[in-house]
Amino acid sequence: MTIISTPSDGLAHPHPDAFDSEHQLQTDAAARRIAGRIGDRTGNEDALARGDLADVDSPARITNRLARIAHYYDPRAAATPEPTIAKGIDKAATALDVQGADLERIINAADFLAVRYLDDGVSASRSIGRVHIDVSSGQAHGFGTGFLVAPSLLLTNHHVLPDAETARTSQIEFNYQDGAGGAALTGTSFRFAPDRFFLADRQRDFALVAVDASASELVSFGYNRLTAAQGTVIIGEYVTIVQHPRGRKKQIVLRENKLVDIADGFVHYSADTEPGSSGSPVFNDQWEVVALHHASVPVAEQIQAGGYLNEGIRISSILAHLRSSPLTAEQLELATVLVGDPPPPAPPEAPPSPPPDHGEAHSASTVTTVTVPVEITVRITGTPSATSQVVAGAVTTSGSASTEAVSIDPDYTTRGGYDPNFLTHPVPLPLLTDAVKSISSQELRYHHFSVVMNRPRRMALFTAVNIDGGAANDPPRESDRWIRDPRIRPDEQTDEALYRDNPLDRGHLVRRLDPAWGPQAKAANDDTFHFTNCTPQHHDFNAGSTLWVGLEDYLLRSAQNNAIKVSVLTGPVFADDDPPYRGFKLPRQFWKVATMVKVDGRLSATGYLLSQEALLDEFSTAPESFSFGAYRTYQVPVRRIAAATGLDLTAYTGADPLEHIESSHTARELIRTNDVIL
């Protein structure tokens, strides 16, 4: 089959058709943007040619970038509490003081990379496949590139899959490539399922579509998690493109593309003479996707780059559009790693009416209105027992059976709260020092956990939960319904206004499933949906691929004594300079102390720290400060957490294994679970 293609075409077509026209529209738009920024780009390239790397980016952008990559070159420097930047920069310096030569070493313009770059690249490339466009006639009308960005969602260009009908007749082929030694791998193809999920936008030239395959069929390919975080790339860095150029086997343009300009929603990078395929991911050196490649444009002044300039759509622009798009419940579930948990449904405008009485023999039905603290309507059939729960929100129905969403018992005297004698060793709640005693609330007890609030900050000072892995239950997660706790004033806790229309998640401090064990599993699960138990967490932090998410699970598996029980303290680290937003201040770091009884019968209390500082830049108008290891997990001494929070954790420090390690004054980055010292 003869393929007709021009050098500027990222698509390969057996014949010109509507797909070529759609791609030409995108190429023309890219050409206008590139031509409109010739002055900025020329200035950038002149500075790069002189080696003045620090002159082509703003200090804030350099700060964010250095914060994000410091861990890659020297994890110890990234974890150091003092502002230290690796590779030749003085410890007293900050990113704003970086000179060109130092910045060049940081971004590895000399091409020195850790060998793990190769392993990470192999992993990132598995999710990339060749898109066969419209195979309804038995052969593809064209080819593009796409890659998985969620367990079953694939991202490519709008001009590759412009509509659901095209997606329905197209397919994705993975492993169309040569393996070690040059032997061809066995390809695997799947159809798309646009009826389950399809979202495309011409302006941003992206299409997001569900793959018609089960999770088990796709798990071996993995997916590249997208992030809208600041600091993923700066001008002057090399980027890497993995692609199916002109529909051929998977190839890589390795460090032959240098970023020369960052425009609003787009990035421009110099290219070699072989343009990449439309829909390819553009990676930074840490294999984070920074852009979606979509066009190569002839540019006369780009002689050294073969006369072409590439354009990609910034991932932050794509995610912003996705998160503002109306999605069904099923679509939200498929896109959870991209948009976070679905927002709670709006309450009904009027309470539901009782069903008509047809005179059949059944128990009496009454309608009761309760304030808990929002006004709700609940239908109670028969005689309510003393332990009946009320629904905090609407009652949805499926057929003839009523299905509750989150349910809250308005009688808070039934809550036992955190049990300090839960383990075979007593583990009391933290004591309050004079620094925090005056701003703290009383202990708020829930089923199997407790919360103490920082009243001025309107968020939890700390939470404490007992987790019984041997009696764990898994209540289904239905429609989330967050409510205020009526035991404290409304102005001492957050509410829905803080989380509306932004990428902030209602981040559980006590995880939903942690207290969900024993006979009270459902009630404890629902108790976690009080606003007292959530803090504002950027979606990329809350859904991030870090050990933080599964830390309690790992500790439960490790606790081989005491019926696999663990007690966990969690909370934010509050600072006066936390970025303000909508009348609140957003915490930049979170901490955790997990206590368990080891096999030898000794108590182990381990401390952990996680930062979302670099992700909060978009919410702050204040000067940006240096952040180490954005949303990475560290094990730290418990006494360091005590100093940062104003809590007396003396009962825990004696059981901290880091107390017996000479170098425990520094943080230990956790790359994998077995890095934890118990």
Residues 197-223: pLDDT tens digits?
999 999 899 999 999 999 889 999 999
Q: Residue 289: which pLDDT band, with cuts at 50, 70 and 90?
A: very high
> Mean of the pLDDT values across residues 503-525?
89
> Which amino acid type is present at position 512?
R
Question: Which of these, 124, 107, 114, 144, lies nearest to 19 by C-alpha position?
Answer: 144
* Burial (CB count <10 Å: 0-12, 13-18, 19+), residue 199: buried
> Mean of the pLDDT values across residues 630-638?
74
Query: Higher model confidence: residue 223 or residue 44?
Result: 223
Separation CA 206–CA 159 (nearest Å): 8
Q: Residue 35: which pLDDT band, with cuts at 50, 70 and 90?
A: confident
pLDDT score for 264: 77
pLDDT score for 423: 93
Q: What are the CA-CA distances from residue 105 to residues 69, 110, 429 (Å)?
A: 12, 7, 47
Lowest-pLDDT range of 65-74, 235-244, 415-424, 562-571: 65-74
pLDDT score for 434: 94
Separation CA 478–CA 560 (nearest Å): 32
Q: Where are the alpha helices (DSSP H) in 10-128?
A: 18-36, 38-50, 59-73, 75-79, 100-106, 116-125
Per-residue exposure over 379-389, b if at least 16 CB sit within 10 Å of its own CB, e if not: beeeeeeeeeb
pLDDT score for 537: 82
pLDDT score for 67: 67
> Mean of the pLDDT values across residues 361-371?
37
User: Which 3 state secondary structure label does DSSP give 656?
Assistant: coil
Concatenate the DSSP letters of all residues of 476-521 into one string.
Answer: ---S---B--TTS-GGGS--GGGTTTSSEEEEESS-TTTT-BGGGH
> Mean of the pLDDT values across residues 439-466?
97
Which stretch of DSSP H or E encloses residue 647? strand 647-648
User: Which 3 state secondary structure label does DSSP give 234?
Assistant: coil
Inter-residue contact 507 to 537 (CB < 8 Å): yes
Q: Quickly count helices (H) and strands (E) in the chain.
A: 17, 33
Answer whether residue 372 shows pLDDT above 90.
Answer: no
Query: Higher model confidence: residue 621 or residue 278?
Result: 278
Question: Which of these, 15, 30, 243, lies nearest to 124 by C-alpha position?
Answer: 243
Instruction: Note if the pTM is more than 0.75.
Output: no
Answer whether residue 598 shows pLDDT above 60.
Answer: yes
pLDDT score for 666: 59
Question: Which of these, 578, 567, 590, lies nearest to 517 by C-alpha position?
Answer: 567
pLDDT score for 260: 83
Q: How many residues would you count in the chain? A: 678
* Packing angle, helices 18-36 and 38-50, rounded to 10: 70
Separation CA 404–CA 382 (nearest Å): 17
Lowest-pLDDT range of 42-56, 309-323, 371-385, 486-500: 371-385
Answer whether residue 313 shows pLDDT above 90.
Answer: yes
Q: Which DSSP state fits 534?
A: E
Q: Residue 397: which pLDDT band, with cuts at 50, 70 and 90?
A: very low
The number of beta carbons lying within 10 Å of the beta carbon of residue 367 is 12
Separation CA 391–CA 479 (nearest Å): 11
Cα-Cα end-to-end distance for the chain: 62
E runs forming strands in 194-275: 198-201, 206-210, 238-243, 251-263, 266-270
Residue range(s) of every CATH 3.40.570.10 domain in the chain? 412-675
Query: Higher model confidence: residue 255 or residue 589?
Result: 589
Beta bridge partners of 467: 566
Inter-residue contact 582 to 502 (CB < 8 Å): no
Q: Residue 308: which pLDDT band, with cuts at 50, 70 and 90?
A: confident
Q: What is the mean pLDDT of the chain?
A: 75
Q: Residue 549: which pLDDT band, with cuts at 50, 70 and 90?
A: low
> Mean of the pLDDT values across residues 312-333?
90
Answer whether residue 452 shows pLDDT above 70.
Answer: yes
Answer whether residue 495 shows pLDDT above 60.
Answer: yes
> Mean of the pLDDT values across residues 566-594?
91
List of residues 6+ apart from 137 with CB closer than 8 A: none
Answer whether residue 106 shows pLDDT above 50.
Answer: no
- Per CATH, the number for 412-675 is 3.40.570.10
Q: Residue 235: which pLDDT band, with cuts at 50, 70 and 90?
A: confident
Q: Which CATH superfamily is domain 122-221 in?
A: Trypsin-like serine proteases (2.40.10.10)
Residue where the block lists tokens 């791998």: 185
Inter-residue contact 500 to 453 (CB < 8 Å): no
pLDDT score for 552: 63
Separation CA 379–CA 125 (nearest Å): 53
Answer whether residue 128 shows pLDDT above 70.
Answer: yes
Q: Residue 80: which pLDDT band, with cuts at 50, 70 and 90?
A: very low
Q: Residue 345: which pLDDT band, with cuts at 50, 70 and 90?
A: very low
Tokens of 539: 């979606």
Separation CA 183–CA 178 (nearest Å): 5
pLDDT score for 9: 41
Answer whether residue 559 shows pLDDT above 70.
Answer: no
Question: Which of these, 289, 268, 14, 4, lies nearest to 128 by C-alpha position?
Answer: 289
138-186 pLDDT, tens digit per residue, is 888 889 999 999 999 999 999 999 999 999 999 999 999 998 888 899 9
Q: Residue 386: which pLDDT band, with cuts at 50, 70 and 90?
A: very low
Query: Higher model confidence: residue 136 or residue 228?
Result: 136
Tokens of 582: 């909508």
pLDDT score for 441: 96
* Burial (CB count <10 Å: 0-12, 13-18, 19+), residue 24: middle
> Mean of the pLDDT values across residues 264-280?
74
Tokens of 392: 């905090």
Answer whether residue 600 shows pLDDT above 50.
Answer: yes
Query: Higher model confidence: residue 62 or residue 374?
Result: 62
Separation CA 512–CA 631 (nearest Å): 21
Q: What is the Cα 387 distance to its own chain's centre? A: 38
pLDDT score for 670: 67
Question: How much helix, strand and coil, in percent to the nearest 5, is found in the chain?
Answer: 25, 25, 45
Q: Residue 477: which pLDDT band, with cuts at 50, 70 and 90?
A: low
Separation CA 367–CA 349 (nearest Å): 17
Inter-residue contact 430 to 569 (CB < 8 Å): yes
Query: Higher model confidence: residue 449 or residue 48?
Result: 449
Cis peptide before 456 (omega within 30 of 0): no
pLDDT score for 364: 37
Q: What is the largest CA-CA distance in the chain?
A: 90
* Burial (CB count <10 Å: 0-12, 13-18, 19+), residue 233: buried
Q: Ramachandran region of residue 385, left (φ > 0), alpha (ψ -120 to 50) or beta?
A: beta
Inter-residue contact 108 to 285 (CB < 8 Å): yes
Answer whether residue 465 shows pLDDT above 70.
Answer: yes
Inter-residue contact 366 to 380 (CB < 8 Å): yes
Q: Residue 546: which pLDDT band, with cuts at 50, 70 and 90?
A: low
Tokens of 492: 């001492």
> Which amino acid type is present at position 622?
A
Tokens of 668: 């230990």
List of residues 6+ apart from 303 with CB closer than 8 A: none
pLDDT score for 369: 37
Separation CA 359–CA 282 (nearest Å): 67
Residue range(s) of every CATH 2.40.10.10 domain in the chain? 122-221
pLDDT score for 668: 67
